Chains A and B, each alone.
Chain A
Amino acid sequence: MSENGHQEHVVSPKLYATILAALLFGTWLTVQAAKIDLGRWNIVLALLIATIKMSLVILFFMHGKYSSRRTQLVIVSGFFWLAIMLGLTMTDYSTRKPEPSRSANPPAIAIHRA
């Protein structure tokens, strides 16, 4: 806050340090989680941890929590569009039958051997 009445939220170093610790813990956790065979849930867990880490960075390091509603709308819209692009494309690819050109090869076995 300055003499001009220009207000902005100042995040304390203590909170920044807490977020740092949480992010480092998340990094350790994601490596440990990858070493356990969870079948197809490995990727789900990895993305879940990464999304939580991302949220912490956006909310606190990037001050998303303290931004104006308008800015928050822009932030959310970016991920909304990304979700449309990834979601709709992958529903297409995951429901297609194998293309004839590749049917000569046996289908690759699932990576997790579940």
Chain B
Amino acid sequence: MHRTGELYGQYKTLEQQKETATLGMWVFLVTEILFFGGMFLTYAINRHEYPTAFGVGGNMLDLNLGFANTVVLIASSFTMAMSVWSAQTSNKKLVPIFLIFTLILGIVFLGVKVVEYKQKFDHHLIPGHGFDITYCSKQPAAVCGISEEDHAKEITEIKEGIEADGGLVALNAHAQLYFSLYFGMTGLHALHMIVGAGLLVWLILESRKGRFDANYNTPVENIGLYWHFVDIVWIFLFPLLYLINRHLA
């Protein structure tokens, strides 16, 4: 397998050959849209049914880390786009450089995600037997590493949430639904990032051989499409998971 951009028999022109590859990639991405769509639908139904618990749960995420990760991922999409540009303009030396930047940003994103997951574990927010939405509100603020102000807000919010949702048991159950979706959706997204990182490693190795230029850059372009798609999923996950109820005074 050492394709370098020669014309295959079934195509009339290189342009047609490239378009076929792009079209095929997009057909795959459409299946991905509907794959993630199922999770977004589950989210929509449950948020519609249990708005209180989703608001309480969403405010327990770390907004600063979520925001920083969004910036990191958008920056990685930019460097990915720049590696496609480098290939299209035959700047062969630049292609792996931009790809390495993209990979580093992708790994930073996953690293921050690990920190966030660990935080949720410490705060008893993993769905299951040990789940307790009131855990941090019952401890001194320092135990959960949140400011006194945020701690006071959380106590009020949980008190109001219990009242609105029809009791502590109900709130705890519905908040578990929120966190199941949080881990399900961000986990599936992270899995796509890990696959993307693997693809990037291969691209970096191949591009260092100088394989991709104006004449042949289909792998860079198509893995780029995949990377941007994963970025788009996060563009929706960030407001839907982190920003549900941030306007509480």
Q: CB-CB < 8 A to B149: which residues of A?
A: none
B70 touches A6 (CB 8 A): no
B23 within 8 A of A: yes
Contact of A23 among B48, B74, B224 (CB under 8 A): B74
Cα A17 to Cα B239 in complex, Å, equals: 23
Residue of B with least CB distance to A12: B85
- Given the known inter-chain contacts A54-B232, A93-B48, please indicate yes or no for A2 contacting B215, CB distance below 8 A: yes
Cα A30 to Cα B244 in complex, Å, equals: 11
Contact of B18 among A8, A50, A90 (CB under 8 A): A8
Q: CB-CB < 8 A to A12: which residues of B?
A: 85
Q: CB-CB < 8 A to A109: which residues of B?
A: 51-52, 164
Interface size on B, residues (CB 8 A): 66
Q: CB-CB < 8 A to B215: which residues of A?
A: 2-4, 6
- Given the known inter-chain contacts A1-B214, A8-B88, A23-B74, please indicate yes or no for A111 contacting B37, CB distance below 8 A: no
A111 touches B239 (CB 8 A): no
B48 touches A90 (CB 8 A): yes
Q: CB-CB < 8 A to B19: which residues of A?
A: 68, 70-71
B41 touches A86 (CB 8 A): yes
Contact of B40 among A60, A86, A93 (CB under 8 A): A86
Cα A82 to Cα B32 in complex, Å, equals: 11
Whole-angstrom distance from the CB of A37 to the nearest CB of chain B? 4
A61 touches B228 (CB 8 A): yes
B170 within 8 A of A: yes
Contact of B51 among A31, A71, A110 (CB under 8 A): A110
Cα A17 to Cα B22 in complex, Å, equals: 23
B247 touches A42 (CB 8 A): yes
Q: CB-CB < 8 A to A79: which residues of B?
A: 33
- Given the known inter-chain contacts A50-B236, A90-B44, A94-B48, please indicate yes or no for A108 contacting B88, CB distance below 8 A: no
Cα A46 to Cα B29 in complex, Å, equals: 24
Contact of A67 among B22, B37, B236 (CB under 8 A): B22
- Given the known inter-chain contacts A10-B89, A20-B74, A71-B26, please indicate yes or no for A62 contacting B247, CB distance below 8 A: no
What are 7 sample pairs from A and B whose C-beta atoms fall under 8 A apart? Answer: A20-B74, A35-B247, A61-B80, A85-B38, A86-B37, A105-B167, A111-B54
Chain A residues with CB under 8 Å of chain B are 1-8, 10-13, 16-17, 19-20, 23-24, 27, 30-31, 34-38, 42, 46-47, 49-50, 53-54, 57-58, 60-63, 67-68, 70-71, 74-75, 77-79, 81-82, 85-86, 89-90, 93-94, 105-106, 108-112
Beyond A2-B215, A79-B33, A81-B30, 7 additional pairs, beta carbon < 8 A: A10-B89, A16-B82, A17-B78, A27-B67, A38-B247, A105-B165, A108-B53
